[in-house]
Amino acid sequence: MSEDLWILGIHMTKFGKHPDRDMIDLASEAARGALSDAGVSMKDMGLLAAGCLMNANAGVGQMLQKQIGQTGIPVYNVANACATGATALRVAAMAVKSGEADYAMAVGVEKLAGAGLLAGGARKSDGDGTWQPHGRFGAVAPLDGRVGTETMPGVFAQIGMEYGHKYGGTSFELFAKISEKNHAHSTLNPLASYQKRFTLDEIMNDVMIAYPNTRPMCSANCDGAAAAVVVSGSTLKTLSAEQRKRAVKVSASVLTTDPWEEACQVLPNVNTLTRNAATEAYEQAGIGPEDLDLVELHDCFATAELVHYDNLMLCEQGGAVDFFQSGATWRDGKTPVNVSGGLESKGHPIAATGIANIWEVCTHLRGEAGDRQIEGAKAGLAHVIGLGSACGVHILEAAA
């Protein structure tokens, strides 16, 4: 159970609109790319974990096998909100750590281009203009439009405003500057959905989605896939020098859900489970936030990025505004955040995001990130959170 875990191969498709390709086409591209990057084949895999949220009951893993190699291995179809990809990787990691498999593969895929706002829970009346209770014992009802909102832009707008109310220093312009940073970073990422720099005025004067998030401050629904091959440390020792050189160590792999709290349960608490996951990850890895050379965090909205600086302990508690304003999170800052362009530019094909964030970190640790390379990167953190809630945090380190 103490077996080291390594990412041997990893790949992501270009995120964006792929009207001529279906979900399995994209998953196949990512899976084959990861296998090729690892220098192994499907016959080496001992387990496949396939993440897909919007088609969670479709048996994506089995359909994928029919394209890339049907070898009789266990297949796990995974759905866990926006943490689906990270959860699929956790399934593969646990198989390798337990000794069940020497190699395992995780894939995340989604077709989301044109999906519009996700997770709106408003329900029409029963036809006569009145509302009737639904759900368990007639007691469960959608919140949307009654005591708040269940649409993601609204939820994370509230979360960002709550942080500002608690600690001060936030403003519409401050949140827009976070988006300005991420869109600037995207110009160096050829796999991002959008590679366009926006001025602060353009961001602030765009369509308002849910104050303080305008359209460029929101993650973009899109199509995409990502896949990773993981291997045990003992197996890695038997491989070529080139494979060992490019392998990336998984120093921490953590998944958390909401702990019990005596508190209002209307507004989702994305903070506690993220801070818990980060704390456990730093303990597993034996390093601290000050040792990270880059971070890919779940900026589903500009407001979310700010609160996660604090949750991931990149700054002191309550210090996210000062941390951002110091310039630390830009590519040339002390702790570069979302050098990929983040979800606001790269796009957010939900189940693929968790693995794609890890792909970005791995690419820098291998020194293969091209114009956006963080020089000398040795350690990085990848983070995703899915409401419901689930949080995945992985800490990755370059091969010695």
Catalytic residues, by residue number, are: 82, 348
CB contact set of 28 (below 8 Å; sequence gap of 6+): 64, 67, 68
SS3 content of the chain, % helix, strand, coil (to 5): 40, 20, 40
Is 182 in contact with 372 (CB distance < 8 Å)?
Answer: no
Q: Is the dihedral of CA 83, 282, 340, 310 positive or negative?
A: positive
Single-letter residue type at 12: M
Look up residue 137 and give its DSSP letter.
G
The backbone torsions φ and ψ at residue 299, rounded to the nearest 5 degrees and listed phi first, read -90, 60
Radius of gyration of the chain (CA): 20
Strand order in the sheet with 379-386: 75-78, 48-51, 103-110, 224-232, 5-12, 248-257, 390-398, 379-386, 294-296
CA angle 334, 336, 340 (to 5 degrees): 165
